[in-house]
Structure 1
Amino acid sequence: MIYPLIIIAIVFIIILFNNLNNKIKRLERELYELHKKINDTPIKKEQPIIQTIVPTLEIKEEQKISIHPEIHENDVPRKEQKDWISPVFEFLKQNALTIIGIFTLVLGIGYFVKYAIDKNWIGETPRVGIGFLAGGIIIAVGHVLRKNYSVFASIITGGGIAVLYFTITIAFREYQLFSQNISFSITCLITLLSISLSYYYKSEILIIFSLFGGFLAPLMISTGESNYLFLFTYLTVLNIGMLAVVFLKNWKSVGWISFIFTGIYLSSWTIEKTEILSVYFYIITYIIFYLFALQNYFKKNILVSSDILMLVLINFTSIIGLVYIFDELQYGPVIIFPIVFALVNLGLLYREYSRKNFGINYSVFAGITVSLFTVAIALQFKTHLITSVWAIEATLLLFIWKKTNLDIFKICFYILFPLVIIAQIITWTEYIDAINLAIVFNPVFLTSSVTVITTFVNLILLRKLSENAESENTNFFENVFTIVSYAVIYGALLFEIMYHISEKPWIMIFSVAMLYSLYFIFIILLFRRKLEINKILETALLYVFFSLIIFDTLISGSGIISNYLLKKIQFSFYGLYILYWIPFIYILLNILPKSEFFKIKLSYWFVSIAFVTAVSCELYDLYLLMNAEKISDIAGIGKHFSVLYLPIIWAILASLFIYKGLKSDVSEYNKVGFALIAVMILKLYAYDVWKMDNVSRIIAFIILGIILLLSSFLFQRVKKLIKNMVKNKEENPESQNA
């Protein structure tokens, strides 16, 4: 039943194709006749105009080139095409039907063969023969069409090669018609055939098909046994062939595909079976892809963006693999590889220096050389491999982005930097189980130091780049990056301190962490101009600082007094705790007046609450120190202070706020002062008065009354003074003008 249907379908397709082909031929004839008529039409006036314009343009172009003969080609900034993905989509749009068609045809042949197998129409050997025959026919069709339809023919030929690969795979895995060696030899021949056709047809698309087949061939005929020597000998030969094609045809995509596949195979080998043999293949791979990256440099003395990115990746991926192998096998010294790679790049750097060529090439080689020497130093101090290498590599990418202004390095940096943060967080977790780490000179903190230094360099580089920021999105990401960077720097020293005092009482750990946090923010605010901290971040840091002041004074002071009375900590620690007043007072007097913090009225209240809390808590702590002798005394003495002395302190502070508000003409301070008086009076009449003895009650009311009267008198005097100043100004406008 199936045969008549197949015959009818084939006849129908032939008739349909013949009909469409006749229509296309007719359209081609009409276009040819129209084109001929247009060319035969005489053009009189336009031709002289074209002849006069073209020479003029040529002269101008020559003049433009000869204006600055001293500028080298690689010194000219090369802006990478912004919409780099458009050609890919354009290719897919133009050839989508062809790709889908050849894929469908391959599947159709496969299903037909499977159907024939299920029906036992053909044996195992003929099945393989059908596959080879179908692949050969498809390749032949592509060969016929190559002159007039080059892209279409390349895709067709690639489909034929895919059929051949699948056929040999099935013949080996399913039917065992060939041994592994014979199967591998056939796949090599197919790869060699496809590469030869690619070179002959001058088709980059076809060689991409060939490379995919060549790199997947070992998987197709794998038996599950790991023969890495044989595998990487084959891959090395394949990569050398790739390198030859790249130098002949300059097909960059070929090299990148080879690099990705080779990297996957090498990393799999390194993780699965770490052995010294893999070191030799890492070095060979490094040489091959370094030559690939320097192709344009040797030919034209230029480095395009893809070349620079390859230089960065091949250096750092090779170092990670080689150092990992040496660490696992306990060989040394591990720094030999980054030093050797650095010397290779130093030679290229010297070449640029000797030629007095200080353009992009010089900057790239200098950045890579310095980065590799930095990696060597970091590894010598036994820092963690992945974290240190990624941190230095991210900084190198940012440096190259700054020098070349190519967006590809910006994208790579934004991809790699989050990985650096994740790796650093994983590194910090080692503090949890670590025992007897040395102070500062331990692997965790040294790794953190590398991350901190590179992150600080990133901030400097990004600060210069942000001057040319073009969009709000760019500013947003850079602001996020700045915050994350300072968080990394903050955490590096904090976790080291916490580890070394982890056995101390909890209040001591808490107080040290708070004091460190306050001074960290203070240093950033102190150097905010040099660090170019923007106004939004500056305001946010001030809010965090005052929040920490409130939180710290409410908890730390009383906790320290309690632990001191329990003989758990020394009294000298209280002196360390109150050092927070130095940055607090400095910020109040010198930083706040010059900032935009008070653009939000809520800020006046925030600062005032922090100041009132700090003063009240410190006087409370001092009162406890002077009167408490044992831990049981704290409750009674604390209650006495809050009932008798706290209202007096608040009344004095309220008066100061009111005075400050009148003097500076800031109404928010007046509101804070009156609000504090209201809270104090409410507390006094609602709670305190019922807890006092008669003598204390009398003293409190007298002192409070005197303070309120003095505050009122002060308020009236200042009010009168301001009124007189306004009156004098209105009566003597001439003196004001003078």
Structure 2
Amino acid sequence: MSEVLLVIFITVIIFLIFNNLNGKIRRLEKEISDLHSKINNPQQNTVSQQQNTIAEETGISAQNPSIPIHEEIRTEEIPTPPQKDWLGPVFDFLKQNILTIIGIFTLVLGIGYFVKYAIDKNWIGETARAGIGLAAGAGIMLTGHFLRKNYAVFSSIITGGGIAVLYFTTTIAFREYHLFTQNTAFIITILITFASIVLAYYYKSEVLIIFALLGGFSAPLMVSTGQSNYLFLFIYLTLLNIGMLAASILKHWKSVGWTAYFFTSLYLFSWTSEKAELLCIAFYIISYIIFYIFALQDYIKKNVLSSWDTLMLVLINFSSIIGVVYIFNTLKYEPVIIFPLLFAVPNGLLAVKEYGKRSFGFSYSIFIALTISLITLATAFQFKAHLITSVWAIEASLLLYIWKKSGHKIFKTCFYILFPLVIISQIMTWTEYFKERQMAVVFNPVFLTSLVTIATTIVNLFLLKKINETRKEKDTFFENVFAIVSYGVIYIALLLEIVYHISDMPWAAMLSIGLLFSIYYIFVLMLLRKKLDIDSSVQTGLIYLFLLLIVFNSSFSSSEVVNAVLQKKLSFSFYWVHLLQWIPFIYILRNTAFIPDFYKTELSYWIISTTLVVAVSCGFYHTYTIASVEDISNINRTKEHFNILYLPIIWAILASLFIYISLKKNIPEYSRIGFALLGIMVLKLYCYDVWQMDNISRITAFIILGVILLLSSFTFQRLKNIIKNMVDKKEEEGGRK
């Protein structure tokens, strides 16, 4: 018992000290305020003195406000404060009140530990314990009441701490001590919530009503016995949200609406995931109406939409769609498109209203964008697209569109958060390819969902391009990463659909078709590089990837196809399919202006020439093999024969071609490449090939190579003379002029 007396004594001492310090602080605040007014308003005193002087000289009373003062007597213009970031007020509040928040939290914990200590010592019974908690909560609230005039925010936090004590005391009295029945405990928590809301309205305290809402939404969990009575729960939550809406409209407290939306969504999604039933839909629609009105209150009063109101419109539409469509899909009801179309109606009507007023500003753009997005969702759901992926993909594009129209960074931030979730959800959707069998071509749920993601990704790229055109600053790193990820998503979506439907074919066919698709996909991206505004560094990366795929398809993939044809796993005609790679490759080789940034370094000429040599050599080798080999057991002998007899000839022709191009287009690097290839060919010929040939082959190879080299040399000499004559003629004509 001595510990209790000690605690009471210390509390009284602290109160007396605090009261004494509080009086001194008030006097000091008054002195500072008076001094501050004298320091900050010297000009007002000067103006007053000048007015009195003018009045004395002219006989006009300076107290008459209708008489103008001399024009030179002006007050300085007050500079407009810079616009703060949306998190600024939050951080300002925390900086100013963090000690108060920590203090009240510590006090609540101290009371709790004290009561626990008293219980452990058996000083008080169960009823007394609850009584102490309730009395402590009421005392803290009373303290906040007395401090409300001079310390509004401080008193709100203190009062909120008292409310928390009342909530927790009621919960403990019900759960641990069983002093109340569940209904009684719930009624008490409702009364606490109602009293808190009334106090918040009376004190005009937004902080206090947030405490009240937190307690109100926590009350069902506090008095829960584990038996779900969702009808009663959501009737209570609906009444709480209606109270929130009234307070928000009367006091323009937006934070209470966001707090209520967060907790209501958690409860709704929890109910939906635990037990999907038609009753859920009724409360989804009721919540939709309440928060839709909450988001539109400024639009109704002032015909304006703030960034946060717009974000609420987006969230309430799409979160409601996810819930109700999930319930319909779970219960196997049709048609699910009724809900996105139903939610599109109010947005469409508001868009029509703006159109009727010939007002095509931000509000019209938002309503028409929401309407189109919901109708698009309805179309996707009609074709059985996956729910979450489709909703998030369209929502991400909508957020990017709103960012473009408004310029508010909150939508940019939300897009950055949501876009990775779209990718993750799409990847999870793609796993259905490994589970499902016999899905239709194109018109299957997985690919239809991919089409939604592809369409929204293309829209995102277009919108991002428009945003960059209207803003001077550009985050190149993010734009490049976003572009690469977007093109990768489109590529994987199309590739997986192709591979799924050819999965019964041999591995060589799947590999060849996949590589051909990859080559043509990159080629199309390069063709559309200007329209897609692809960065030059990304273009260069695409070229390197394109050439790597050409090499891989020409060597490894073609070899697999040849083996499959010889083993009768594939038809002979399939071999010619993989040669389609030459169409884009030849186009790139012939149009050097197609990739101008690629040729800025000497290394690029070596890379593209090496790719050409490998592709031509492997192409002739595989064609020769498939045409001359009937039994796969003879393939090694055919390979050795080709390498010794025909490969040096092919390299000699290619080397001559490189040197010819070098002289014709004045590109010295091709000349070096040509001579390097000739050197490799000669080394191979004299160091290895001649020792493996028979006499007839050796004679044939040397004669053919000799003729090729002599003809090439003769051609080069003629070309050099032609070029020299042209240069001399131009110099002579220049001298005459």
Q: Which category describes the TM-score, using the shorter chain as reference length?
A: over 0.9
Give the 3 Å change call, closer, same or farther, for CA 35–90 of structure 1 in structure 2. Answer: closer
Give the 3 Å change call, closer, same or farther, for CA 581–252 of structure 1 in structure 2. Answer: same
Partner SS state of residue 305, structure 2: coil
Deviations 1:338-391 (A, max 9, x none): 111111211111111111111111100100001111111110111111111111
Deviations 1:433-477 (A, max 9, x none): 2111111111111111111111111111111112244545x2211
Give the 3 Å change call, closer, same or farther, for CA 124–51 of structure 1 in structure 2. Answer: farther
Aligned to 1:668: 669
Report deviation, 1:165. 0.5
Aligned to 1:575: 576
Separation of aligned partners in 2, 1:36 and 1:463:
53
Give the 3 Å change call, closer, same or farther, for CA 677–49 of structure 1 in structure 2. Answer: farther
Separation of aligned partners in 2, 1:610 and 1:504:
29
1:296 aligned residue (292, 295, 298)? 298
Aligned to 1:75: none
Aligned to 2:409: 407
Give the 3 Å change call, closer, same or farther, for CA 32–94 of structure 1 in structure 2. Answer: closer
Aligned to 1:566: 567
Aligned to 1:385: 387
1:585 partner letter: I
* Worse-superposed segment, 290-299 or 657-666: 657-666
Partner SS state of residue 146, structure 1: coil
Give the 3 Å change call, closer, same or farther, for CA 4–551 of structure 1 in structure 2. Answer: same
Partner SS state of residue 632, structure 1: helix
Aligned to 2:441: 439
Separation of aligned partners in 2, 1:269 and 1:309:
24
Separation of aligned partners in 1, 2:284 and 2:153:
36
Contact 1:466–1:475 (CA under 8 A) maintained in structure 2: no
What pairs with 1:76-115 in structure 2 (closer than 5 Å)?
A: 83-115=85-117
Contact 2:351–2:364 (CA under 8 A) maintained in structure 1: yes
Aligned to 2:425: 423
Contact 1:597–1:603 (CA under 8 A) maintained in structure 2: yes
2:197 partner letter: I
Report deviation, 1:2. 2.6
What pairs with 1:362-511 in structure 2 (closer than 5 Å)?
A: 362-471=364-473, 474-511=475-512
Q: Percent sequence identity over matched residues?
A: 61
Aligned to 1:204: 206
Separation of aligned partners in 2, 1:573 and 1:729:
54
Aligned to 2:237: 235
Separation of aligned partners in 1, 2:260 and 2:106:
27
Give the 3 Å change call, closer, same or farther, for CA 650–36 of structure 1 in structure 2. Answer: closer
Aligned to 1:697: 698
1:339 aligned residue (325, 341, 345)? 341
1:141 partner letter: T
Give the 3 Å change call, closer, same or farther, for CA 701–273 of structure 1 in structure 2. Answer: same
Aligned to 1:603: 604
Partner SS state of residue 577, structure 1: helix
Aligned to 2:149: 147
Are positions 1:539 and 2:544 aligned together? no
Separation of aligned partners in 2, 1:283 and 1:32:
53
Aligned to 1:282: 284
* Worse-superposed segment, 560-569 or 143-152: 560-569
1:590 partner letter: N
Report deviation, 1:566. 2.2
Give the 3 Å change call, closer, same or farther, for CA 297–14 of structure 1 in structure 2. Answer: closer
Q: How many residues align?
A: 714
* Worse-superposed segment, 707-716 or 604-613: 707-716
Aligned to 2:59: none
Separation of aligned partners in 2, 1:8 and 1:191:
33
Partner SS state of residue 232, structure 1: helix
Separation of aligned partners in 2, 1:553 and 1:579:
11
1:260 aligned residue (262, 276, 286)? 262
What pairs with 1:169-180 in structure 2 (closer than 5 Å)?
A: 169-180=171-182
Contact 1:168–1:187 (CA under 8 A) maintained in structure 2: yes
Contact 1:660–1:669 (CA under 8 A) maintained in structure 2: yes
Give the 3 Å change call, closer, same or farther, for CA 136–46 of structure 1 in structure 2. Answer: farther
* Worse-superposed segment, 722-731 or 233-242: 722-731
Partner SS state of residue 429, structure 1: helix
Aligned to 2:131: 129
CA RMSD of aligned residues (A): 2.4
1:488 partner letter: V
Report deviation, 1:731. 5.7
Contact 2:402–2:411 (CA under 8 A) maintained in structure 1: yes
Aligned to 1:683: 684
Contact 2:141–2:163 (CA under 8 A) maintained in structure 1: yes
Contact 1:82–1:407 (CA under 8 A) maintained in structure 2: no
1:288 partner letter: I
- Give the gaps of 5 or more residues in structure 1: 62-79
Contact 2:47–2:73 (CA under 8 A) maintained in structure 1: no
Are positions 1:626 and 2:596 aligned together? no
Report deviation, 1:7. 5.4
Separation of aligned partners in 1, 2:38 and 2:335:
79
Report deviation, 1:50. 8.8
Partner SS state of residue 632, structure 2: coil
Deviations 1:168-223 (A, max 9, x none): 01100110000000000000000000000000010000000000000001111111
Contact 1:312–1:393 (CA under 8 A) maintained in structure 2: yes
Report deviation, 1:634. 2.0
Report deviation, 1:37. 7.0
Report deviation, 1:568. 1.7
1:313 aligned residue (298, 309, 315)? 315
Give the 3 Å change call, closer, same or farther, for CA 146–623 of structure 1 in structure 2. Answer: same
Partner SS state of residue 294, structure 1: helix
Contact 1:469–1:475 (CA under 8 A) maintained in structure 2: no
Report deviation, 1:46. 6.7
Deviations 1:118-161 (A, max 9, x none): 11111111111111111111111111111111111111111111
1:633 partner letter: N
Deviations 1:593-615 (A, max 9, x none): 55211012211111101111111
Partner SS state of residue 687, structure 1: helix
Report deviation, 1:665. 1.9
Separation of aligned partners in 2, 1:245 and 1:577:
70
1:360 partner letter: F
Separation of aligned partners in 1, 2:600 and 2:332:
61
TM-score w.r.t. the length of structure 1 is 0.92
Aligned to 1:555: 556
Give the 3 Å change call, closer, same or farther, for CA 351–30 of structure 1 in structure 2. Answer: closer
TM-score w.r.t. the length of structure 2 is 0.92
Aligned to 1:68: none
User: Of the two structures, which has the highest relative contact order with CA contacts closer than 8 Å and spacing of 6 or more?
Assistant: 1
Separation of aligned partners in 1, 2:37 and 2:628:
113
Separation of aligned partners in 1, 2:493 and 2:96:
53
Give the 3 Å change call, closer, same or farther, for CA 545–571 of structure 1 in structure 2. Answer: same
Give the 3 Å change call, closer, same or farther, for CA 34–585 of structure 1 in structure 2. Answer: closer
Separation of aligned partners in 2, 1:576 and 1:341:
50
Give the 3 Å change call, closer, same or farther, for CA 18–405 of structure 1 in structure 2. Answer: closer
1:248 partner letter: L
1:431 partner letter: Y
1:189 aligned residue (176, 188, 191)? 191
Report deviation, 1:725. 5.1
Report deviation, 1:663. 2.0
Give the 3 Å change call, closer, same or farther, for CA 51–443 of structure 1 in structure 2. Answer: farther
Report deviation, 1:113. 1.3
